[in-house]
A and B are shown apart, each in its own frame.
Chain A
Amino acid sequence: MRARSVIFNAALVFAAIPLLVHAQGFTPTKPVEFVTHTGVGAGGDVLARYLANVMEKEKLLPVRMHVANKTGGGGQTAMAYLVEKAGDTHTISLYTGIWISNPLMLPEAKTTMKDLTSLVRLLLEPGLIVVKSDSPFRTFNDFIDEAKRNPGTLKQSGSLVGGRDWMLRVLLMKQTGANWAFIPFPVMGERLGALLGGHTNILLVDPQETGEHIRAGTLRVIVQIADNRLPPYPNVPTMKEAGFDVPNIPVVRGVVAPPGIPREAVAYWEGVFAKLVRTPAWRKYLEDNVLEDGFQRSAEQSKFFDEYAETMRGVMREGGIKIVR
């Protein structure tokens, strides 16, 4: 069953902004459609609406930008929609990692990132591994040691096979020889509930989701998945500091466009987002939500797509998932 969500695209009507003349030779002349594959109220949708809001407030676009939710198909509906819009310079879309990973493992996911035009990468979400406050595991090493002593008895509240938390588990099990179960729960509430109820032992979270539980002392962070220690958690080691040499599989968000758009349009959108990521509003958003700035331009991001897909192929092979592409 698919979760419910509804579209009110036109509900957010933005005031028209005087036309700005652009040097590159391309400027949008009609409202821009900003596609997201998530339903109204979900993470990607909230970010898309926030970006549209900043664009308007900072007058970065001469036209208004409205959010269109093309939900379903694990991102494929939105991707196929972009392919259908080939050559359209007035449609751009937010993506996440599943746009890269799903085509690797699902035969039905026929549209890949190679079919789209890379614009910019925006941000990376770090992660925290948390335990319940009365857990015997003081550090992540304690957990790994126990998982080696009694393989298969410890449990991780997870999102889904193929998700970031699952991939990290595969990598860590390979590196350390430990073994523990990964129990998927489709929504955060259930994942967290299972951990707080003592039914599972660890959980990987976004820092923003559980900040209050950590402050209240019901959850304890034992390791963080980030290149550098995040400001709110100066005393918790990163994965590398704790002695685990696994790549930080980031949750990534960025922007792509339909295939076959002219180079001027790519340059234009790069420019707009380059300006956006320098605005104080955006810096504050990153800080408030404990996110890392992951800005990359089109060419750089294309390379990132390839690397990311390669890493995932490795992890999936290791984790026993059949790779179809």
Chain B
Amino acid sequence: MEIFGHLLQGFGVAITPINLFWCFVGCFLGTVIGILPGIGPAATIAVLLPLTFKIEPTGAVIMLAGIYYGAKYGGSTTSILLNVPGESSSVVTCLDGYQMAKRGRGGPALGIAAIASFIAGTLGVIGLTLLAPPLAKFALAFSAPEYFALMSFGLAMVVLLAGESFVKALLGMLVGLWLAGMGIDLFTATSRFTFGSPDLLDGIDFVVVAIGVFALGEVLVNMESREGGQMLPVPKGLRNLLPTWQDLKDCRFAFLNGSVTGFIIGVLPGAGATIASFITYGIEKAVSRHPEKFGTGVPEGVAAPEAANNSDAGGALVPTLALGIPGSGTMAILLAAFILWGLKPGPFLFYDNPQFVWGLIASMYIGNVMLLVLNLPLVPVFAQILRLPSYMLFPGIFGISIVGVFSVSTSLFDVWMLAGFGLLGYMMRRLDYPAAPLILGFVLGDSVERSLRQSLMMSQGDLSILVSRPLSASMLILTALVLIVPLFRKANAWRLKAAG
């Protein structure tokens, strides 16, 4: 087949020592910035951009792409060990990852995250290799009504994220929607819920909310007890720091589910890895034989979102390379880089610069192997962090959180907001409000409102646009199912209880 010829040619490019070197540099840098909360791949790529003029473009793009997908490997580390989401897309990894760490299984969780990342990263690149042109067309068919349906499906995941109280989960989600609505309304230039403060005109940064509610809330709860010793158990011996065969077997479906869902959502320019990871987690829980164990530290709960956010990288490159439409924020910067290097991103890139495109794709296969080899040995090393006594570990998390937030905007206002959300996260834990629904509402709030309003503008106010298009209609049906099925289950449970 023609594609394999191209791919072989690409490997010819990627396997040269200099390009292997750039691939390694990218993967390594990516892992590092992925571990640090706040600093993301987009900014790193932007800062390194001027330096890439001295390199040949293929080598440069191999390195920059390495930063992009490498960051996704690193992002899970702090999520699992410290409950600090390293990247926005690893918030969901906190849910079960941190619980695993708390039960002394931090090492296995890190290992599963690395393996899930590898499998999904590779499957994502395979998807990119084989399906780029047809999928790019699919991405274009997606418009506001389809996005609305997808976002509604995402919001319906709240059903699956709810802990003991469904009402509290919904309330948390509504607060998330409210927080997401802060700032200037694109459609009317009205400012909403800014309390007269110019600092809130652009809304609240995701990092501030996620780190505040997840990381600081957790730390404050831990500080309730003055126990000064080691907080989390870390078993001795290398074997206990790596996932067991049973763990991997349990995760089989999660790897596949995450890879496919993450890839497809990654292709869409208006949705991202964070949404993908929420949806994958929801699907995983819905089909699981023991859904009640999710959120208490099951390996699938780590594998699914980690897989989703890694195969997203391959997906995001589909519209970027095939159409010249950035598949995500980071991709927009990468596209700008193409232009600076004298390449012409757009529908002709595959034909004009096959060496460049196929060299990049081939390098991603190699990069994923490098990342696995780089990350697995780090697992036992990172797991040692948990051996720190709590009077060192928890203050350290405060420090990392402050640095992570400040580095995003250099604004002390944001650090104040962080402290505020930390208090909110603490109260939520004390009062048994789950944190994930709030984050879900916050991530999706903007898109769900926007896509609904866009749809109705397109149809001149006719609501039928949402159900008359096959793609959006089928997703809305799925959404309804997600909402209705648990009600039946609950009703059944009550009946059984009453009968028993």
A and B touch in the complex (CB under 8 A): yes
Residue in contact with A108 in the complex, picked from B185, B198, B207, B408, CB distance below 8 Å = B198
- Given the contacts A72-B201, A213-B347, A5 and B42 also touching, CB distance less than 8 Å: yes
Which residue in B189, B346, B408, B442 is a CB contact (below 8 Å) of A5?
B408
Q: Judge if A73 is at the interface, Cβ distance under 8 Å.
A: yes
In contact, A212 and B187 (Cβ under 8 angstroms): no
Q: How many residues of B contact A (CB 8 A)?
A: 76
In the complex, A321 has a CB within 8 A of chain B: yes
Once A1-B180, A6-B40, A161-B189 are accepted as A-B contacts, the answer to whether A197 and B407 lie under 8 Å apart by CB is no
Q: Which residue of A lies closest to B147 (CB)?
A: A190
Contact between A106 and B144, CB atoms less than 8 A apart: no
- Of B43, B139, B457, which contacts A41 at CB under 8 A? B43
> Nearest-CB distance from B313 to chain A (Å)?
16
Residues of A within 8 A of B347 (CB): 212-213, 216, 218
Question: A161 is contacted by which of B188, B194, B203, B327 (Cβ under 8 Å)?
Answer: B188
Cβ proximity bits B150-192 to A, threshold 8 Å, 1 near / 0 not: 0000000000000000000000000000001001111111010
Give Cα A189–Cα B139 distance, bound, in whole angstroms.
Answer: 11
**The one of A41, A111, A155, A198 that contacts B42, using a Cβ cutoff of 8 Å:** A41
Q: Mark A96-122, 1 if CB is under 8 A from B, else 0.
A: 000000100111111100000000000
B346 A213 Cβ-Cβ under 8 A: yes
Q: Which residues of A contact B189 (CB under 8 A)?
A: 105-106, 160-162, 321
Q: Looking across the interface, which residue of chain B has its beta carbon closest to that of A321?
A: B189
Q: Does B110 contact A (CB under 8 A)?
A: no
A41 & B186 in contact (Cβ 8 Å cutoff) = no
B348 adjacent to A216 (CB under 8 Å): yes
Quick check: is A80 within 8 A (CB to CB) of the other chain?
yes
Flag whether B498 is at the interface (Cβ < 8 A).
Answer: no
Cα separation A105 to B450 with both chains bound (whole Å):
21
Within 8 A of B (CB), among A1-42: 1-9, 11-12, 39-41
Give the tally of cross-chain contacts (CB within 8 A). 212
In whole angstroms, what is the CA distance A183 to B452 when docked?
Answer: 11
Judged by a CB distance under 8 angstroms, whether B88 is at the interface is yes
The answer on a CB contact under 8 Å between A7 and B205 is: no
Evaluate contact between B199 and A4: CB separation under 8 angstroms.
no
CA gap between A321 and B187 in the complex, in Å: 11
Chain A 193-220, CB-CB to B under 8 Å as 1, else 0, gives 1101111100000001001110110100
Whether a CB of chain A sits under 8 angstroms from the CB of B124 is no
Closest-by-CB residue of B relative to A166 is B189
Could you say which residues of chain B place their CB within 8 Å of the CB of A212?
324, 344-349
* A6 and B39 contact, Cβ closer than 8 Å, known pairs A40-B46, A77-B411: yes
Among B180, B189, B326, B332, chain A packs the most CB atoms within 10 A around the CB of B189
Cβ-defined partner of A215 (8 Å) among B39, B183, B344: B344
**B468 at interface by CB-CB < 8 Å:** no
Known: A53-B50, A152-B460, A215-B346. A185 touches B42 (CB 8 A): no
Q: How far is the CA of A132 from the CA of B326 in the complex (A)?
A: 18
Q: Is B279 interfacial (CB 8 A cutoff)?
A: no
Residue numbers in B under 8 Å from A192 (CB-CB): 325
In the complex, which residues of chain B have a beta carbon less than 8 angstroms from the beta carbon of A7? 43, 407-410
- List which A146-176 residues lie within 8 A (CB) of chain B: 152-153, 155, 160-162
Q: Does B386 contact A (CB under 8 A)?
A: no
A107→B201 contact, CB < 8 A? no
Tell me the minimal C-beta distance from B176 to chain A in angstroms.
Answer: 10
Contact residues of B between 36 and 95, Cβ < 8 Å to A: 38-40, 42-47, 49-50, 88
Q: Which residues of A contact B38 (CB under 8 A)?
A: 6
Q: Which residues of chain A have C-beta atoms less than 8 A from B460's C-beta?
A: 152-153, 181
- Given contacts A4-B42, A192-B325, A212-B346, A73 and B333 within 8 Å (CB-CB): no
Q: Are B43 and A80 in contact (CB under 8 A)?
A: no
Q: How far is the CA of A74 from the CA of B191 in the complex (A)?
A: 11
Contacts of A208 in B (CB 8 A): 339
Across the interface, which residues of A come within 8 angstroms of B450, CB to CB? 184, 186
Contact residues in A for B323 (Cβ distance below 8 Å)? 193, 196
Q: Which chain A residues lie closer than 8 Å to B346 at the CB level?
A: 212-213, 215-216, 218
**A contact residues, total (Cβ < 8 Å):** 67
In the complex, chain B residues 193-210 whose Cβ is within 8 Å of any chain A Cβ: 194, 196-207
* Cβ–Cβ contact B191 & A107, under 8 A: yes
Interface check A125, CB cutoff 8 A: no
Task: Determine if B336 and A110 form an interchain contact, defined as CB atoms under 8 angstroms apart.
Answer: no
> Does B143 interact with chain A (Cβ within 8 Å)?
yes
Chain B residues 115-152 with CB under 8 Å of chain A are 139-144
> Contacts A41-B42, A45-B46, A188-B332 known; A6 to B408 CB distance under 8 Å?
yes
The answer, yes or no, to whether A297 is at the interface (CB within 8 Å) is no
B269 adjacent to chain A (CB < 8 Å): yes
Provide the bound-state CA to CA distance between A77 and B197, in Å: 10
The docked-state distance in angstroms from the alpha carbon of A131 to that of B326 is 19
- Asked if B270 is at the interface of the complex by the 8 Å CB criterion, the answer is yes
- For B408, the chain A residues whose CB sits under 8 A away are 4-7, 71
A147 vs B47: C-alpha distance when bound (angstroms):
44
Report the bound CA distance from A200 to B346 in whole Å.
19
Residues of B within 8 A of A213 (CB): 324, 346-347
Least Cβ distance of A80 to chain B in Å?
7
CB distance from B339 to the nearest CB of A (A): 7
Does A46 interact with chain B (Cβ within 8 Å)? yes
Chain A nearest CB, measured from B476 CB (Å): 18
B457 touches A181 (CB 8 A): yes
Contact flag A186-B198 (CB < 8 Å), given A5-B408, A41-B333, A68-B410 = no
User: Which residues on the A side are within 8 Å of B197 (C-beta)?
Assistant: 108
Which chain A residue has the least Cβ–Cβ distance from B38?
A: A6
Instruction: Give B40's nearest chain A residue, CB to CB.
Output: A4
For residue A4, which residues in chain B have a CB less than 8 angstroms away from its CB? 40, 42-43, 88, 205-207, 329, 408
| Interface residue A313 (Cβ < 8 Å from any Cβ of B) | no
Task: Provide the residues of chain A in CB contact with B409, threshold 8 Å.
Answer: 5, 7, 69-72, 77
Mark B248-278 against chain A: 1 for CB-CB distance below 8 A, else 0: 0000000000000000000001100000000
Q: Which of B201, B345, B443 contacts A109 (CB 8 A)?
A: B201
Assess the A72–B202 pair: CB atoms within 8 A: yes
Q: Chain A contacts of B269 at CB under 8 A?
A: 187, 189-190, 193
Interchain Cβ contacts under 8 Å between A and B, 30 examples: A2-B205, A4-B43, A4-B206, A5-B42, A5-B43, A6-B43, A6-B44, A6-B407, A46-B49, A70-B411, A71-B202, A72-B201, A76-B199, A76-B201, A102-B201, A107-B191, A153-B460, A155-B458, A161-B186, A183-B144, A183-B458, A184-B187, A185-B270, A189-B325, A193-B139, A193-B269, A197-B140, A197-B141, A215-B348, A216-B347
Known: A2-B206, A74-B202. 15 other contacts (CB 8 A): A4-B329, A40-B47, A41-B45, A45-B46, A71-B408, A72-B201, A77-B409, A108-B198, A161-B188, A187-B332, A189-B327, A192-B325, A196-B325, A197-B142, A212-B345
- Please report A residues at the B interface, Cβ cutoff 8 Å: 1-9, 11-12, 39-41, 45-46, 49, 53, 68-74, 76-77, 80, 102, 105-111, 152-153, 155, 160-162, 181, 183-190, 192-194, 196-200, 208, 211-213, 215-216, 218, 321
